[in-house]
Amino acid sequence: MPCRWIMRSDEEAPSSITAIADQLSISPLIAEILWSRGLQTSGDMDRFLSPMLRHLADPVSIPGLDEAAAILAEGLQAGKKLAIWGDYDVDGITSTAVVKDFLRQCGIETIHHLPNRLKEGYGMNMEGVEKLAEQGVEMLLTVDCGISDNEAVARAKELGMTVVVTDHHLPPETLPPADAVCDPRLDESCTDCADLAGVGVAFMLVVRLRRLLGCQDVDIRDLLDLVALGTIADVVSLTSQNRILVKNGLLTIKAAKRPGIAALKLVSDYDQFAELGAGQIGFNLAPRINAAGRLGDPEKALKMLLAESVEEAMPYAQELDMANTERRRQEAEISEEAMLQAEGQRRNVGLVLYAEHWHPGIIGIVASRVAEKFYKPTLILCKSEDGVIKGSGRSISEFHLHAGLTRLSDMLLGYGGHKQAAGLSLEEDRLDELRERFNAVVAEELGHVPLKPSIKVDRSLTFREIDYTLLRELELLQPFGLGNPEPVFISPPVSVQECKRFGREKEHVKLTLADAETQAMLPGKAWRMAAELTPDHKGRVMRFAFSPKIDRFNGVPRIELRVRDWND
């Protein structure tokens, strides 16, 4: 769907931008980009470009963390048996790994529980808590979950456990009856840490525990590879504290000292010591870990991350790779069916798609694909083994999905999530009602005419301005993601010299573009755009929205454009 191109800032950069650029030894173009993104002093720009670990917030600034760490430290020093309850996604698995790895280095062994997505669903459950009690667990720590699990926490307390909840999701009105509850979102004034992923909260907890347990000889910087992996996978804003954690974590991932990370990079077709960006991790490493949880067994991913040698980690990495291949196969099948259903709901501004046989671990990915293609809030549902309808939703920037589901809470068995993504469950006989009411809620918020997606562009850029010096400077702005999008530029009028499809299913497009005025030529790729950008465009003069980058695919660096959109 063609996009509206919107300049990131309507204001022109001040004349002082050149002086700021000179002071920071960067080009005025980079300084302009930073200025348009709200970094309007040399100090702000410097901290952004050099996100040092010393700029991390004090962990005790996170609501509940000091109390949580103190309770855990006291219990561990008294020899209490600790269990860690995580989640089946990358954030939950890496959160669990961070705590277990740190405590293991402190000489403290722990047990853990990662729920089976297909049998247990998200969060804590009574049966799992009772099994932990049978194993003699005296303390229970939740990571990346627990903030809404009041009944399960209460059951753990009944069984005599000390319970500490750490989470990053939106808290409910009534908090769980734990001994301590730690969540950045408990206090709106905690702006520095508000966007931490679950693994970021777990890391901050570990930072505090290190001092309380007297484990100063443990180098917690070695845990930052796990923090970066979980943070990127959870698609939280890569600004402020997350930028510091991920930027430094990417260096740790490059070094690949953790055998599980080395094995994961190798099965993802990267060199063990390859330097990876957030996009490569989000699209290649993270899905392999997620595949374990999506298809039912997150334990293999955790065992890989905690392996003590590459030889031990590699069989798990290979299993995850095979699981990811199967996940992609099922995703393609479900996507095809879901897209057909979406076509049949063209008149609706909110989509509710359902098939009994769709895999519950994969529908969230498909919801993202549908929402992106049709630019509509989308719920995709399937039937669980107990006969309940369960689903995942993805939204567009203009619609708060969690708030929308809250307005439908009277008909739902349960729901949770945030602005862009959510999960829900309901009785089967209310499916038609959900379809009608969800569309009405979206229409009330956005109107009955489907919105046209937009893309924010930073400025115009001629092909002659694009060189290796500029691209190396643009890499200083990494990691890119939510909150810190990759810069997008507008080309001058260019002629399409080549327009060929490629890929396993010919879903991508390879381009050669020539500046209509100077004839400067650059290659480009348009991912998943073959249906719209056809060979018929060859020979046309067009303008493109693009991001330039250095392609190192064959070991030989070359300049290439990633096409985002075009305008005839």
Q: Is the dihedral of CA 340, 344, 350, 352 positive or negative?
A: negative
Cα–Cα distance between 322 and 324 in angstroms, integer?
A: 5
b/e sequence 267-284, b meaning 16+ C-beta within 10 Å:
bbebeeeeebbbbbbbeb
Is residue 411 domain-shared with residue 525, that is, in the same domain?
A: no
Give the count of domains, the chain: 3
pLDDT at 419: 85
Find, among 182, 215, 213, 218, the residue nearest to 73 by Cα.
Answer: 213
Is residue 126 domain-shared with residue 239, that is, in the same domain?
A: yes
Q: pLDDT tens, 171-198?
A: 988 999 999 999 999 998 888 899 999 9
Is residue 405 domain-shared with residue 497, that is, in the same domain?
A: no
Collapsed DSSP state (helix, strand, coil) of residue 514: strand
Structural domain ending residue among the three candidates 446, 481, 505 = 446
Given a cut of 80, whether residue 282 has pLDDT beyond it is yes
Is residue 365 domain-shared with residue 464, that is, in the same domain?
A: no
pLDDT at 192: 86
Is residue 161 domain-shared with residue 64, that is, in the same domain?
A: yes
Is residue 121 domain-shared with residue 140, that is, in the same domain?
A: yes
Q: To the nearest whole number, what is the mean pLDDT of the chain?
A: 94
User: Euclidean distance between the first and final Cα of the chain, in Å?
Assistant: 13
Given a cut of 70, whether residue 117 has pLDDT beyond it is yes
Cα–Cα distance between 478 and 475 in angstroms, integer?
A: 5
Has residue 228 been placed in a domain?
A: yes
Element (H, E) at 489: strand 489-490
Give percent of the chain with pLDDT exceeding 70.
Answer: 99
When pLDDT is cut at 50, 70 and 90, the band that residue 519 belongs to is confident
Element (H, E) at 112: strand 111-113
pLDDT at 554: 67
* Residue 436, domain CATH: 3.10.310.30
pLDDT at 513: 97
Is residue 374 domain-shared with residue 467, that is, in the same domain?
A: no
Q: pLDDT tens, 219-239?
A: 999 999 999 999 999 989 999
Has residue 31 been placed in a domain?
A: no
Is residue 418 domain-shared with residue 524, that is, in the same domain?
A: no
Average pLDDT on 450-476 reads 93
Is residue 223 domain-shared with residue 349, that is, in the same domain?
A: no
Is residue 108 domain-shared with residue 195, that is, in the same domain?
A: yes
Is residue 526 domain-shared with residue 549, that is, in the same domain?
A: yes
Cα–Cα distance between 290 and 301 in angstroms, integer?
A: 8
Given a cut of 80, whether residue 552 has pLDDT beyond it is no
At a CB cut-off of 8 Å and minimum separation 6, what does 327 contact? Answer: 287, 290, 291, 294, 295, 361, 362
At a CB cut-off of 8 Å and minimum separation 6, what does 177 contact? Answer: 150, 153, 154, 157, 163
* Residue 150, domain CATH: 3.90.1640.30
Cα–Cα distance between 100 and 110 in angstroms, integer?
A: 7
Has residue 152 been placed in a domain?
A: yes
Structural domain ending residue among the three candidates 211, 230, 255 = 255
Given a cut of 90, whether residue 258 has pLDDT beyond it is yes
Give the distance from CA 71 to its chain's centroid. Answer: 31
Q: pLDDT tens, 307-340?
A: 999 999 999 999 999 999 998 899 999 999 999 9
8 Å CB contact between 550 and 471: yes
pLDDT at 556: 79
Has residue 397 been placed in a domain?
A: yes
Has residue 307 been placed in a domain?
A: no
Has residue 100 been placed in a domain?
A: yes
Has residue 265 been placed in a domain?
A: no
Has residue 29 been placed in a domain?
A: no
Count CB atoms within 10 A of the CB of residue 186: 16
- Reported pTM: 0.89
At a CB cut-off of 8 Å and minimum separation 6, what does 79 contact? Answer: none
pLDDT at 111: 97
Cis, peptide link before residue 479, omega less than 30° from 0: yes
97 vs 567, higher pLDDT: 97
Cα–Cα distance between 41 and 340 in angstroms, integer?
A: 50
Find, among 156, 149, 81, 84, the residue nearest to 120 by Cα.
Answer: 149
Structural domain ending residue among the three candidates 429, 446, 463 = 446
When pLDDT is cut at 50, 70 and 90, the band that residue 2 belongs to is confident
When pLDDT is cut at 50, 70 and 90, the band that residue 296 belongs to is low
Cα–Cα distance between 254 and 285 in angstroms, integer?
A: 13
DSSP-derived secondary structure for 283-304: IIIHHHHHHHHHTT-THHHHHH
pLDDT at 294: 76
Domain span including residue 431: 345-446
Q: Which of 288-302, 455-469, 545-559 has the highest mean pLDDT?
A: 455-469
Is residue 473 domain-shared with residue 412, that is, in the same domain?
A: no
pLDDT at 1: 60
DSSP-derived secondary structure for 239-268: SHHHHHHHHHHHHHHHHT-SHHHHHHHHHT
Q: pLDDT tens, 379-427?
A: 999 998 788 999 999 999 899 999 999 999 999 998 887 788 889 999 9
